[in-house]
Amino acid sequence: MPLLSKVVVMAPATTANLGPGFDVFGMALEYPYDKVTITKADDGIKIEVYGTAKEGIPTDPSKNTAGVVAEHILKEFSLKVGLVIKIEKGVRPGIGLGSSAASAAAVAFGLNHMFDLKLSYEQLVRFSAKGEIASAGFEHADNVSAAIYGDFVIIKSYNPFEIIHLKAPPSLGVCVAVPKLPALPKKTEKARAVLPKMVSMDKLTYNVGHAASMAVGFATGNIKLIGNAMSDAVVEPARAFMIPGYNNVKDMALKAGAYGVAISGAGPSMIAVIDENSSAPSKVLKAMEEGFKAAGVSAEVFYTKPGKGVTLLEAE
Ligand code: HSE
């Protein structure tokens, strides 16, 4: 039986891949975020969705990422209780900012507290990743790992999960541009279907070099190196056609002072990394907006920073 009858959890938006780290790199963002309240009920799982980003979020627990995670945990620990999961959705779905991962991570983390399950962070990632099947058709864990740990993560291994967690440099800033494109149902699944099945050795060498450099960039707090390493020879070239303005946004953000630009997760949002000490966020945001505009697409832009992982806000 639960030790707590209610928990309230914050779970952040996340950006995945950061260029060369497909399914391996993730970073939590300070803004936006989901707030999830889990309350004990008599039986069954009920999902309620509120908030500015609630559009398009299913409330059927078997289709909702939070519901899928809750079902897995209740089953694995033979917990015979019902739950009401209220999701105040801040992370819009379908834009590449880890919307499904935020709710999934919040539920895994929240239930761990509620039932005192003593799950390790790796186990929380394993449960949260189950939720990604509901939205992406595959248990990719880059977004959920970043949502659980916060800051920057490297998934060293999927089986078993081994995750390396690194703090982001304090002056690292993230400019985000979200193009206004027609909603693409099952977007991540589709964006994965266009990827090559085989990769040539020269592309492998390119990506290993850049990914290793990015890890060193985070380990040493070198924002210029992090940005320069944000380049991918495999996944972005295959997905670029899905993002009108991709090349413009990249070129213009780099010219405006960004150190690196990448597709955020499966897109279509793009992120640009800056050092606050040497570049103005507003200049880079404007360049990204104009980059999309030159391709005939309007975009919402905002500035954020690397942020903390899931956090318990209330418990009773
Ligand atoms: N690594 C995943 C992908 C992230 O690029 O498909 C999806 O958010």
Closest-lying ligand 1 atom to the alpha carbon of residue 16: 4
Percent residues over pLDDT 70 in the chain: 99
pLDDT of 132 over the 90 cut: no
For residue 164, the cross-strand partners are 154
Q: Which of 71, 88, 132, 290 is catalytic?
A: 132
What pLDDT does 70 receive? Answer: 96
What pLDDT does 47 receive? Answer: 96
**Cα torsion 125, 61, 99, 314: sign:** negative
pLDDT of 218 over the 70 cut: yes
Q: Where are the domains of the chain?
A: 6-166+307-315, 172-304
Q: Categorize the per-residue pLDDT at 55 as very low, low, confident or very high, splitting at 50, 70 and 90.
A: confident
Q: Is 188 a catalytic residue?
A: yes
Residue type, 188: T
pLDDT of 1 over the 60 cut: no
Predicted TM-score of the model (pTM): 0.96
Does the domain spanning 6-166+307-315 belong to CATH 3.30.230.10? Answer: yes
What pLDDT does 2 receive? Answer: 54
Select from 12, 85, 20, 17 the least CA-distant residue to 228: 20
What pLDDT does 192 receive? Answer: 93
Percent residues over pLDDT 90 in the chain: 89
Which single residue is written with the structure tokens 């908030």?
51
Q: Which CATH architecture has domain 172-304?
A: 2-Layer Sandwich (3.30)
Mutate to test the pocket of ligand 1, among 100, 103, 142 (most ligand atoms within 8 A of CB): 142
- Work out the average pLDDT over 79-88: 95
What pLDDT does 3 receive? Answer: 80
Nearest CA, atom 4, ligand 1: 265
154 close to 164: Cβ distance less than 8 angstroms: yes
Q: Is 52 a catalytic residue?
A: no
Closest-lying ligand 1 atom to the alpha carbon of residue 96: 8
CA–centroid distance, 115 to ligand 1, in Å, is: 31
